[in-house]
Amino acid sequence: MLLADLKYGLRMLVKSPGFSLVAILSLALGIGANTAIFSLVNAVLLRPLPVHDPQSLVTVSTTDQRNPGNLPLSHLNFKDLRAQNASFTDMAAISFNQVNYSHGQESEQIPVQVVTANYFSLLGAEPSLGRGFRAEEETQATPVAVVSHGFWERSLGSNPNVVGTTVFLNRTLYTIVGVLGKRFKFFGDQDYTTVIGVAKDSKYNGVAEDPQNFIYQPLSQNYTPQATLHVRSAGDAASLANAVRGAARKLDPSLSVFNVRTLEEQVSTSLQPLMMNVLMLAVFGGLALLLASIGLYGVASYAVSQRTREIGVRMALGAQPSSVLGLVLGHGMMLVFIGLAIGLVAAYSAAGLMRSLVVVVNPHDPATFVSTAVVLGAVALLASYIPARRATRIDPLIALRTD
Amino acid sequence: MNTSAQSLIHLDGVTKVFFTDEVETHALAGIHLEIKSGEYIAIAGPSGCGKSTLLSILGLLDTPTEGRYVLNGKEVADLPLSERARVRNREIGFIFQSFNLIGDLNVYENVELPLTYRGMKSAERKERVMAALEKVGMAHRAKHLPSQLSGGQQQRVAVARAVAGSPSILLADEPTGNLDSKNGEAVMELLRELHREGATICMVTHDPRYARHADRSIHLFDGRVVEEDGSKKGERELEESGFDIAH
């Protein structure tokens, strides 16, 4: 029966090609625009941060009042803070530096994230290959490193046996102990160099920049006099701010703590310039889908009004309401299927364009395409379901009198 | 008329009242009617007398305001919509004045349609459709669209569609109304032939010439049966054998 309905739907479609074409194109436009936009919305707004419980993870910036506008918390102050603390679940520090990576006859400057040993476990972002740093590696000068996924791909040829191999950093032989997962991101606030984690490879200045290739080192191996804190707490972020502030003042009255924000707030702040564009695109996408659905509703309603007598005849011959529903939906489904096919191909291309505008978008994410197609297809089908449902209530006696 | 035949349709005190804002129109007023299996009955009368309303009730396209309707031993006046559709599909074959073939379906598909709604398997459908088309002499037009056929041919296809499912009764609403006299006669001959083969037929007509083809005629006026003539079969048989009977 379904096949017969689809066949009949195709016949109806061919019967009025102009009308069908307009409906299909409007659907394709709506579906295509929404799929492309959803790729962006998904990447920017919906995809969860690749860290454990980001709401309880807070970043803290500090400044020295004797030397304002500069210098996050010093490494030694961090150690004291961590030792004295009783208010936090855990605390990690991170600072940034550069190393000279030598390979063959060539060498290049690679950004380094110098972290405490608990950094990866605090974020809940354990390396996808090998392991993170051990506590003893924070104090011993054992030359070990964790590399970012991008560095592993670009510079180490995605070698699956990379753990245990050696790389030259600052003319010192280092043993690789781990590779960080692909979705782990790390970028800081432009003004305060506060560090937050997002997704995939590490980034410094927001989602719009290209992923950076990083090397992670334990604090002891690339000492810098400053560090930024990651603090995880079981309590709420607001009370945590006061606890950190109090602990810092107790340690050093000139140390000023500010910019205490959860990871989600950090991400939100960094996304603000992009957010307006995304929201506008989402509104346009929604409008496009609404117009396409109205168009499909119009086509289906028109078809039902044109076929009232036919539906009456079918009902007189014994068609059940479900058969009439299938008949009208069959026509709508044909339009939706063709519109979906065209729309998804268009979205495939448009998402590529988006990728060139915003690098965070994966233009050909199958999950996005499938989920968007299902949702938008369902919306479009709903638009033809309403007139189809109305058709099932046609009185055959009245319909047969229709000219 | 075969008086020993089993009762197929029994109407008992059927009334139909149409209500508008301030007016009540009594289309049928206390109709009592019995149609036996294998009978050919004509419902005649002037326009607006209630013929089509009666046929609609018989065809389960409409419900009586009051009264009982028993079809094949089953009370059907108050069946729910889906059950009415099922009974229409299995028990009743419709032949409409304006043919009511579906323009986008070819002849074969039109005849197949009620069998599809019955959930019949494809092979059986094909067998029945071709048999019905053979019966009305339209098998050679199976792949044609209705628009490629003459009015008479379209009505023959409509008859094939009505008989393909072997219904208990054929309800024909002015089946010659849109045909010229030659095609009208051909369709009447087709109905007569179906009747000879055992079909039960109830035909609405306002034309006395066609009413004479039936075993029995009932005449409606203002929604009431005003005359019933059940002696036509003998006359028709005499006529068919060459006798001229003056009316």
Out of A52-56, A110-114, A307-311, which region has the weakest mean confidence (pLDDT)? Answer: A52-56
Query: Residue B240's pLDDT is what?
Result: 54
- Kindly give, in sequence order, each residue whose CB lies less than 8 Å from that of residue A136, ignoring residues fewer than 6 positions away: A142
Query: Residue A175's pLDDT is what?
Result: 66
The verdict on a CB contact (< 8 Å) between B113 and A317 is yes
Contacts of B62 in chain A (CB under 8 A): 397
Out of A167-171, A324-328, A337-341, B170-174, which region has the weakest mean confidence (pLDDT)? Answer: A167-171
In the predicted model, is pLDDT for residue B246 greater than 80?
A: no
Domain boundaries, chain B: 39-64+80-240
Query: Residue A198's pLDDT is what?
Result: 27
Query: Residue A174's pLDDT is what?
Result: 64
| A46/A333: higher pLDDT | A333
Contacts of A12 in chain B (CB under 8 A): 104
The verdict on a CB contact (< 8 Å) between A315 and B85 is yes
The alpha-carbon gap from B241 to the nearest alpha carbon of chain A, in Å, equals 37
The verdict on a CB contact (< 8 Å) between B89 and A11 is no
Pair A363, A369: CB distance under 8 Å = no
Length of chain B: 247
Query: Residue A193's pLDDT is what?
Result: 21
Q: What is the pLDDT of residues A94-153, one digit of tens each?
A: 777 887 777 777 878 888 778 888 888 877 777 777 777 777 777 765 677 788 877 778
A321 in reach of chain B (CB within 8 A): yes
Q: What is the pLDDT of residues A212-243, one digit of tens each?
A: 777 777 776 666 666 677 777 766 666 777 77
Interfacial B residues in 141-170 facing A (CB < 8 Å): 161
Domain B39-64+80-240, CATH class in plain words: alpha beta
DSSP letter string, B15-80: EEEEE-SS-EEEEEEEEEEEEETT-EEEEE--TTSSHHHHHHHHTTSS--SEEEEEETTEE-TT--
The alpha-carbon gap from A329 to the nearest alpha carbon of chain B, in Å, equals 17
A3 in reach of chain B (CB within 8 A): no
The verdict on a CB contact (< 8 Å) between A12 and B59 is no
Query: Residue A230's pLDDT is what?
Result: 77
Interfacial A residues in 56-115 facing B (CB < 8 Å): none
In the predicted model, is pLDDT for residue A202 greater than 60?
A: no
Interfacial A residues in 28-67 facing B (CB < 8 Å): none
In the predicted model, is pLDDT for residue B129 greater than 90?
A: yes
E strands, A42-165, are 57-64, 73-74, 90-103, 106-115, 129-130, 144-147
Give the mutation candidate from A317, A323, A401, A402 for the B interface (greatest B CB count, under 10 A). Answer: A317
In the predicted model, is pLDDT for residue A22 greater than 50?
A: yes
In the predicted model, is pLDDT for residue A89 greater than 70?
A: yes
Out of A125-139, A196-210, A379-393, B95-109, which region has the weakest mean confidence (pLDDT)? Answer: A196-210
Out of A106-110, A265-269, B17-21, B153-157, which region has the weakest mean confidence (pLDDT)? Answer: A265-269
Across A52-61, A236-245, A384-393, which has the greatest mean pLDDT? A384-393
User: A192: pLDDT confidence band, cut at 50, 70 and 90?
Assistant: very low
Length of chain A: 403
ipTM: 0.89
Select from B104, B105, B117 the Cβ nearest to the Cβ of A318.
Answer: B117
A402 in reach of chain B (CB within 8 A): no
Give the mutation candidate from A313, A327, A331 for the B interface (greatest B CB count, under 10 A). Answer: A313
The verdict on a CB contact (< 8 Å) between B85 and A318 is yes
Supply the Cα-derived Rg of chain A in whole angstroms.
Answer: 30
- Kindly give, in sequence order, each residue whose CB lies less than 8 Å from that of residue B16, ignoring residues fewer than 6 positions away: B26, B27, B28, B50, B53, B57, B62, B64, B65, B223
User: A70: pLDDT confidence band, cut at 50, 70 and 90?
Assistant: very low
- The reported pTM is 0.65
The verdict on a CB contact (< 8 Å) between B116 and A4 is yes
Query: Residue B148's pLDDT is what?
Result: 95
Query: Residue A191's pLDDT is what?
Result: 25
User: B5: pLDDT confidence band, cut at 50, 70 and 90?
Assistant: low
The alpha helices in A69-160, defined as continuous H runs, are 75-84, 119-123, 135-139, 149-155
Local structure of residue A49 (DSSP, 8 states): P
Local structure of residue A28 (DSSP, 8 states): H
**Per-residue pLDDT averaged across A184-198, rounded?**
30
Average model confidence (pLDDT) across chain A: 74
Local structure of residue B213 (DSSP, 8 states): T
CA angle A300, A304, A306 (to 5 degrees): 115
